[in-house]
Amino acid sequence: MRSAAIAIGLFMALAGSAAATEEFPSAAGPLAVTTVAEGLEHPWGLAFLPDGRMLVTERPGRLRVVDAAGQVSPPLAGVPEVYARGQGGLLDVAVDPDFAASGYVYLSYAEPGGAGGSTAVARARLAGDRLEDLQVIFRQVPKLDSGHHFGSRLVFLGDGTLIVTLGDRNMRDYISDMTSHVGKLVRINRDGSVPADNPFVGRQGYAPELYSLGHRNVQGAALNPATGEFWTVEHGARGGDEINIPRPGRNYGWPVISYGREYSGFKIGEGTEKPGLEQPVHYWDPSIAPSGMEFYTGDSFPAWRGNVFVGALKGQMLVRLTLDGDRVVGEERLLEALDERIRDVAQGPDGALYMLTDDDDGRILRVAPAR
C-alpha cells in the first residue's frame, strides 16, 4: 500500500508540473513526457525500491536516491571505486528480490586493476545515506586495458539467481577462451557462488559461471513475464544490433556471424549464419545502439501490455516492439523529436515508463498518456 501511495503521489506531483512536460505522438495517443529529475552526469542504471523511490547510478561513480517529488539525494557513501574510462564507470543497479528482509542492492561497475579494468558486481545493504557491508561477488577476468564494451545489466531470474551481461571489451580473441568471461553472460547466486546447474559446471577448461557466449556488448536485458525467459539486446558494430533469448550453453555468434559490418565497412566473420550458432530474434541494420530493455505489464497503456521497450543511444528514441510468441512482428519508434540518447528504461510502480537520458546533464523522464 505504501508503494502505491507514493507512486500516486509522484504522478500527481509530476502531472501538476506543466512547465516540465512535453507531448509527443504515438499509436496509442499523445504521450506526456515529464522531467522527474535533472542534473545527473551520464546516468546509467535505474531501479525502483519497494517504497517507490528510485536508485540511479551516474557513470563517474555516484549512486543517488530520487524520491517521489524528484528530489535527488547527495551521492551515497560506500560505493566502490570505479574505472571511469571510456564506457566504463558505475553502471547498473538492481534491488534484491528479498529486499525487505535483506536490504541488499547490487551494483555492476568497471573495476580498476592490473593494466586496466573489468566488469565487477558488488552487493551491499542500503542503510540511509550509505551502503554498508559491501562485498564484491563477481569479477570479470581478465582485466584489460580497454575502455570499451563492459556490458553490465543485472537481471534476477525466476529462481533467484543473477545474470550479469558482459561485453567483449573490443578484444575479440578472448571470446573463444572459455576460462575468460569476455563476450559472455554469467549466472551466479546472490552471494556470488556458482549454481550447480550452470551449463559448464564440471567441464575442464570452462569457467563455471558461464551461461552463454558469443556476445558483443549486451546493454539491455529483461525477463519476459509471459514465459519467464530472459531476453537481451546488444550492440552490433556498423549495424547488426540484436535481440536474443540466451539459453544455457549456447553460442550467439559474435564475432563469427553478424548482420552488421566493421566500422571500416568490411565484412565481419563468416557471414550471417553458421551451423551451431544461434540466430537473433530480431536485429537492426542500420544500428540504433540499443541500451535498456523492459517488458510492459502496467495499466497506463493497456494496448501495450506484453510489448518490449528498448532505449536507443545513437537512434535517440524509445522503440516499442510487438510480439507474437518469441517473434518480433511490429516496431514503433517513439520520442524521436526528444533528441536525447536513451540509456535505460524501466516500468514504474504507477504503470508509467521511466527513462534515463545519457548526457552530461542527464535526466529522469516519465512517459505516460497525456491527460
Instruction: Please report the DSSP string for 86-116 in residue order.
Output: TT-SEEEEEE-TTHHHH-EEEEEEEEEETTE
Strand partners, 230: 223
- Cell numbers placing 60: 563517474
3-class DSSP state for residue 156? strand
Strand partners, 328: 323
3-class DSSP state for residue 355? strand
Residue carrying C-alpha cell 580497454: 146
Q: With the C-alpha atoms ordered 151, 188, 92, 340, is the resulting torsion angle positive or negative?
A: positive
* One-letter amino acid for residue 70 of the chain: G
Give kind and range of the element (H or E) at residue 5: helix 2-15
Q: How far apart are CA 308 and CA 370, in angstroms?
A: 21
Q: How far apart are CA 153 and CA 246, in angstroms?
A: 14
- Strands 353-357 and 342-347, how do they pair? antiparallel
Distances (CA, A) of 368 to 33, 34, 271, 333: 7, 8, 42, 16
**Residues sharing a CB contact under 8 Å with residue 106, sequence separation 6 or more, in sequence order:** 93, 94, 95, 96, 121, 122, 123, 137, 154, 162, 190
Is 149 a catalytic site residue?
yes
Rg (CA), the chain: 20
Residue carrying C-alpha cell 571511469: 84
Q: List the strands of the sheet with 90-95, edge to edge.
A: 90-95, 104-113, 116-127, 130-139
Q: Which of 149, 181, 215, 235 is catalytic?
A: 149
User: Which residue numbers are catalytic?
Assistant: 149
